Structure 1
């Protein structure tokens, strides 16, 4: 057992050949963004190395990189801990997401493709079925893929690149909130299909603003 409450099967298995350093980084990042490793949790190099089947050096390097990127806090004489975002950080992150996602929805509705709309409809159906089956992992994945598809339909690669970075950062918040998103997703599909860019923008803005209000505030933030 790596940590209390963390099942062994949840630890990613590293595949070789390839950069061990990169694989360890990606494995730890996945554990953090999926909330398998929860905010504030102590990360012990030796335990991580043992369960990932590597030496402590690539783990140490990965933790340093994650610290630089804001995922991990390195505390002198204490060690590494999963970063625990403040209320202000969370507000800022969701605020940027609202701007990017709203513009993407507007652009997607300007000239939607039939293939793109079909893809959105399929993803929505997948998400709805996963909610009914209480399959949280599939709900989270379908939600992220749905928003990525809207970005693709927007046809702006720079916007999509920025949004992908932000989306990755907000994924850690999704588990408790994405079950409620799918009615709004259906409304967005309808607006895009109708080429109603103003309506698409309105729906996406309400959807992304509401996502922040659904996330429970942290005490003291």
Structure 2
């Protein structure tokens, strides 16, 4: 009987148009092409992404629920401006997850895994030397994701993946400031993982993530917490003169 078949047997469906639009808008925000506080005009986004306004409207609604977009009645949608507190909390959680990832990676990483880490480190270093910040940020995310994957803990990897995109959003503004120092820290981390020294790998990762958090907080220190969108000035209907 078909009714006895478990729901898990369903064939995974491809991403819907709305999901693809959500992904695209998130990437525009993370990469800095859409700035915090920027007004998001449905028609402009629809034209940019080559879709109709309906999936854009649906995407903005969902992104609002996930904290990427703020909806202001009568004014529209705006890219969320992370508060200092929420950024600090997320980066603190990231530090906990990735510190444990590094400790476990030192216990479980294979020679091939270490080789892949070194390749990413070399690519990231070259990107910083060439002042290719977007490439450096993307490679940084790849390297951290690989460390988590090498930990062998799937639950830890899933949790880290949930915060990874927002971490990349916070990291992008300070990537140039962190510069080559960040990649020297990566190299030291890889050395500890290759040596199988879990405690040292954890210590280096803890310090590394704290440096990024401190850089972000320092940059935000002089900024307003949340700039409000400018009110929309509505024009009064023009009246015809009697003359």
TM over 0.5: yes
* Deviation beyond 4 Å, 4+ runs, structure 1: none
Q: Which moved more, 1:148-157 or 1:105-114?
A: 105-114
Q: Which moved more, 1:95-104 or 1:173-182?
A: 173-182
Match of 1:115 among 104, 112, 129: 112
Match of 2:154 among 148, 151, 157: 157
Cα offset, 1:35, TM superposition: 1.2
- Alpha-carbon distance in 2 for matches of 1:152, 1:214: 26
Pairwise CA RMSD of aligned residues? Answer: 1.4
- Alpha-carbon distance in 1 for matches of 2:62, 2:140: 27
For the pair 1:93 / 2:112, whether they are aligned, the reply is no
- Aligned twin of 2:209: 208
For the pair 1:69 / 2:66, whether they are aligned, the reply is yes
Cα offset, 1:220, TM superposition: 4.3
- Alpha-carbon distance in 2 for matches of 1:144, 1:87: 22
- Alpha-carbon distance in 2 for matches of 1:110, 1:75: 49
Cα offset, 1:99, TM superposition: 0.2
For the pair 1:143 / 2:171, whether they are aligned, the reply is no
Contact kept? 2:91, 2:167, Cα under 8 Å:
yes
C-alpha deviations, 1:99-147, integer Å up to 9, x for none? 0000000001113210010000000000011111111121011100000
Contact kept? 2:42, 2:53, Cα under 8 Å:
yes
Gaps of 5+ in 2: 1-13, 226-243
TM alignment of 1:1-221, pairs within 5 A: 19-178=16-175, 179=179, 180-215=181-216, 216-218=219-221, 219-221=223-225
TM-score, length basis structure 1: 0.89
- Alpha-carbon distance in 2 for matches of 1:54, 1:115: 42
- Alpha-carbon distance in 2 for matches of 1:152, 1:91: 24
- Alpha-carbon distance in 2 for matches of 1:115, 1:84: 40
Distance 1:201-1:82 versus aligned 2 partners, 3 A rule: same
- Aligned twin of 1:11: none
Q: Which moved more, 1:171-180 or 1:126-135?
A: 171-180
SS at match of 1:80: strand
Distance 1:220-1:177 versus aligned 2 partners, 3 A rule: closer
- Alpha-carbon distance in 2 for matches of 1:42, 1:204: 37
